[in-house]
A and B are shown apart, each in its own frame.
Chain A
Amino acid sequence: MAARAVAIARGAPGHVAAALVAAVILAPVAAVLWRAGGGGWPGPADWAALRFTLTQAALSALISVALAIPAARALARRRFAGRRLLITALGAPFILPVIVAVLGLLAVFGRGGLVNAGLDALGLPGIRIYGLHGVVLAHVFFNLPLATRIILQGWQSIPAERFRLAASLGMTPTDVMRHLEWPMLRAMLPGALMVIFAICLSSFAVALTLGGGPRATTVELAIYQAFRFDFDLGRAAVLASIQLALVTLAALAALRVTQAGGFGAGLDRSLRRFDAETPALRLLDAAVLLLVAAFLLTPMAAIVWRGGAALAGLPVAVWRAAAVSLGVAAASTVLTLALALPMALAALKRPWLEVVGLLGIAASPLVIGVGLFVLINPWADPTALALPVTALVNAVMALPFALRVMIPQLRDTVADFGRLADSLGMRARDRLRLVILPRLRRQIGFAAGLAAALSIGDLGVIALFADPDIATLPLQILRLMGAYRMDAAAGAGLLLLTLSLAVFWLLDQGGRADADA
């Protein structure tokens, strides 16, 4: 019976899509490896980039997780107005453009920023944000929320009865920590550390804006510099091979130690914790949450504040770049869905197809970018293809998330209604139109929102391929920053922030509207 119910999934288009995705990822990788053969052995600067990449990723992971533990604990054991909103906001960095966050952090911690103004008023020496600590600061900004959500999930996986038992046995907060919370943390922390470490390995936009120089260059950034400034394709390929090995190893390690965890379903459950109802602990939790919220929200508020003033006088180039970005995002979103839907259908029968989709996580955008350049260069002018290539790479990067969102719902739909469709005699096309697409509306809307927001905020391949005449909005902001036009950059940053949140919201709502039961 299962065989027939799943016959809904016609395999062929899904296999074509999977083959296409594999080709888009693996062909550039092969090109990189092939080209690296002539690139010689890595030099001292390359090893320094590797060391810096590992150092900053390790520090970012440790600090993010260390700060996330008290934050997650506070969220797990407190009930207050705005708790759900705060947890939802912790998911926002996923679609927050990196360049916008950097602008916000500069407005707070940068040379003319709030912190330095305060220090100056007190007669204290200022701080400099550029270098290792700036890179780590930005990574903590992005990954503290992620770590908090992961660890909060751990806290909520502890059955409520255990805490009630602890209360009835009269356990102190220390006892609860030792007997209930520490065992959970020991199981969760390696996964959280590894995931964030792996994410930070591919840091490009942050290193580009806050790092740089021989002492603060990541491998991704070194690829870009070898490519853009020295036009040393061989060296770029060698570095790309290093990056490929690094990320693949880290991704495999992360997969090994991570517990299954999705987008944080059911994180809004809260629990009365009798052991933690002392004034001191209440104060501690309140302070932790206020600090975390301030750390995350102040840079955003600063962007809105500074950018709002500059919005009216934005250069025409910014508006043009915004239009380009919207076009790229639209193409990337359509492409993501066109790949994800057939792959998800085919993955019902062949689960390994989802793994093909995951390849996009392991390969970094700059590695794929360099590989595509190597492949395209003999045939055509790569800069002329900058926008299509960006849309394609963005789609491949968004694909794993789209598949993650769609496959479970698809599986449920086939389980619930496959036999009904069979008994009514629906043909494959009718099933898709009448059963599958309507049942998957929410997931398709959410996946489209993710794909569009990720694409609109992406600063990766485009930096590699673009010539001065063409720019997406993030690249235009980078150029404004390079020209020290910080007010215009902040205005463009606010525009980008608004656009990425708006496209996500619109597409996600589009999937929810009129959705029944």
Chain B
Amino acid sequence: MLTLEAVEIRQGAFHLAADFSVETGARVAMIGPSGAGKSTLLDVIAGFLQPTAGRVLLDGLDITALPPAQRGCAIVFQDNNLLPHFTVAQNIGLGARPDLRLDRADRQRVAHAIERVGLTGFEARKPGQLSGGQQVRVALARVLVQRQPLVLLDEPFAALGPALKTEMLGLVDELMDETGATLLMVSHDPADARRIAPRTVLVADGRAEPPCDTGALLADPPPALRRYLGS
């Protein structure tokens, strides 16, 4: 279980408060207007940013001050997920060993992940030779290899077309089913939330609300969300 305990983030005029928990294995979307602090909150959970106050706990363990790689989470960024000078297999291998000294078992895991995301035959390609959708698949394969209990997605599909995005969300859904990891996904599109996240955190007006039922939230949006959705 991921717990944000009285977390406060202040940066100049910016302010965000969060106090809620996410059940293990849950799939939660974070939506809200841009600038409200969705990605900032994700940064705090991922360990890139220290909260001004409060604690972050994963399965009861205080991870607030731990470095990003030791917190038990894997993250996919909006861009720059892949190192352009490495092949697909190497980029995925980084998830197994960040110094890339892979043993036979590591290589098997990588091969399995490549197969799982449907990139068999692309092992030796470099990111520049891949389409946008294939690049996302590589990043997801690495998440698979990392085997972390918490997966964070920071709008990695924002640049994809609608059909491709649907496909990727479907893939994420399947991968989460297989691994049982907890998913936290930032999005500015409520349709994403509706597609794979039964629960949604609304980030607006300096607050991240506790997760609530996505369908209910979108069917009867509170004023802040209504303003954002424009409906």
Q: What residues make up the interface of A, taking CB atoms closer than 8 Å to B?
A: 1, 4-5, 416-417, 419-427, 429-430, 433-435, 438-439, 441, 515-517
- Cβ of B186 to closest chain A Cβ, rounded Å: 15
Q: Is the CB of A419 within 8 A of B94?
A: no
Q: Is the CB of A416 within 8 A of B48?
A: no
- Cβ of B56 to closest chain A Cβ, rounded Å: 15
Q: Is the CB of A1 within 8 A of B83?
A: no
Complex A-B, nearest 9 residue pairs according to Cβ-Cβ distance, in ascending order? A425-B69, A517-B128, A1-B48, A517-B84, A438-B85, A426-B98, A424-B98, A430-B99, A422-B68
B46, B48, B75, B98: the one contacting A430 at CB < 8 Å is B98
Provide the main secondary structure of the chain B interface.
loop
Q: Is the CB of A424 within 8 A of B95?
A: yes
Render B55-71 as a binary contact track against A, CB cut-off 8 A, 1 for contact. Answer: 00000000000011110
- Cβ of B79 to closest chain A Cβ, rounded Å: 8
Q: Is the CB of B48 within 8 A of A4?
A: yes
CB contacts (< 8 Å) of A427 on chain B: these are 98-99
Size bin of chain B's contact surface: 20 to 34
A429, A441, A517: which has the most chain B beta carbons within 10 Å?
Answer: A517
A420, A421, A439, A517: which has the most chain B beta carbons within 10 Å?
Answer: A420
- Cβ of B169 to closest chain A Cβ, rounded Å: 22
Q: Is the CB of B67 within 8 A of A426?
A: no
Q: What residues make up the interface of B, taking CB atoms closer than 8 Å to A?
A: 43, 46-49, 67-70, 73-75, 77, 80-81, 83-86, 94-95, 98-100, 126-128
CB contacts (< 8 Å) of B98 on chain A: these are 421, 424-427, 430, 434
Q: Is the CB of B75 within 8 A of A423?
A: yes
B69, B80, B127: the one contacting A417 at CB < 8 Å is B80
Docked CA distance A346–B186 (Å): 34
Q: Is the CB of B83 within 8 A of A434?
A: yes
Q: Is the CB of A434 within 8 A of B100?
A: yes
CB contacts (< 8 Å) of A441 on chain B: these are 85
CB contacts (< 8 Å) of A420 on chain B: these are 77, 80-81, 83
CB contacts (< 8 Å) of B85 on chain A: these are 438-439, 441, 515-516
Q: Is the CB of A422 within 8 A of B43?
A: no
CB contacts (< 8 Å) of A426 on chain B: these are 69, 94, 98-99
- Cβ of A466 to closest chain B Cβ, rounded Å: 43
CB contacts (< 8 Å) of B43 on chain A: these are 1
Docked CA distance A5–B67 (Å): 11
